[in-house]
Amino acid sequence: MGGIATHHTGQNMANRPLSPHLQIWKWGPHMLVSILHRVSGDGMAIVGLGVLLWWLGALASGPEAYETFHWAMTTPIGYLVLIGLTWAFFSHLCSGLRHFVLDTGAGYELDANKMWSIVSVTGGVVLTLAFWAAIFLL
Amino acid sequence: MGNGTSIGRVRGLGSAHTGAHHWLLQRFTAVGNLITLIFLIVSLLTLPNMSYATVSGWMSQPIPAVMMALLVLTTFWHARIGLQVLIEDYVHDSGSRFGVMLALNLAWIGGTVFGLFCIARLALVPVATGGAA
């Protein structure tokens, strides 16, 4: 995009007003759910798939490699990573389902949009808590 | 590009007409992620423990092995498209973007193949017994 824009606009476009960026707008739940969707998705793409491959590779390599993986994931940092990834998964799941609804053209009215944004973010946290409660309490 | 007429100067600068393909794939793979990851989460929650014997035994069965192979395919595919959007939004220099996109595609293919190979090995080779069984 940069190359085309520079070529096409020339220098007399340099002082044109830019479209407002993040700091211009009053923050609302729809902005939070949008950026969290990106953060959680790309976080899982980079960290989560790495952990998934380590898990699969350790299993395929044998008990010793699996023991190393198991040790790493049950250290405090390991738990932090796993809890972060489950939060990212459940948040991305909720905001992803919200996107499916928005894809149909529904849910753009201000009140409905605000409510489902809050429900998405809250739902991600609640499902994360439920998942770890199931692990530690059941 | 055109010959300098008004229409000629803008022709080809609009939509690449391929966006809907990625858009649809991102949604198809999202449903795939939903199904396979719920399968994985429910399986992990219902396994009696996380020992090597339990987990590798579970994954060597046909249905878990196939579901995990599909999980690797669909999550890596979804992640590749998502990271491409991230790169297109934030990496503006065309040379850098080429390099990052190259790395992304290699990591996508490499990660997918590694994951599938590990699952196939678990399902087909009894690792714990040294291949004797």
| Nearest neighbour of B118 by CB, restricted to A1, A57, A134 | A57
| Nearest neighbour of A60 by CB, restricted to B72, B111, B121 | B121
Q: Which residue of A has its CA nearest to B12?
A: A4
Measured from the Cβ of residue A32, the count of other Cβ atoms closer than 10 Å reads 15
Residues found in chain A: 138
A56, A9, A115: which is closest to B9 by C-alpha? A9
Q: How close does chain A come to B17, measured CA to CA in Å? A: 15
Q: Hunting for tokens 């992304």 — which residue is that? A: B104
| Residues of B with Cβ-Cβ distance to A62 under 8 angstroms | 52, 127-128
Note whether A93 contacts B: Cβ–Cβ < 8 A: yes
B124, B132, B126: which is closest to B66 by C-alpha? B124
What tens digit of pLDDT does each residue of B77-129 get?
Answer: 999 999 999 999 999 999 999 999 999 999 999 999 999 999 999 999 865 45
| Residues of B with Cβ-Cβ distance to A1 under 8 angstroms | 88, 92
**The pLDDT of residue B31 is above 70:** yes
C-alpha to C-alpha distance for B37 and B42, rounded to whole angstroms: 8
**3-class DSSP state for residue B81?**
helix
B29, B58, B77, B39: which is closest to B119 by C-alpha? B58
pLDDT computed for residue B133 by the predictor = 42
**3-class DSSP state for residue B6?**
helix
| Nearest neighbour of A45 by CB, restricted to B55, B82, B122 | B82
Which ipTM score applies to this complex? Answer: 0.84
Q: How confident is the model at residue A9 (pLDDT cuts 50, 70, 90)?
A: very low
DSSP string, B52-77: HHHHHHHHTSHHHHHHHHHHHHHHHH
Q: Hunting for tokens 């795939």 — which residue is that? A: B32
- Confirm whether pTM is higher than 0.95: no
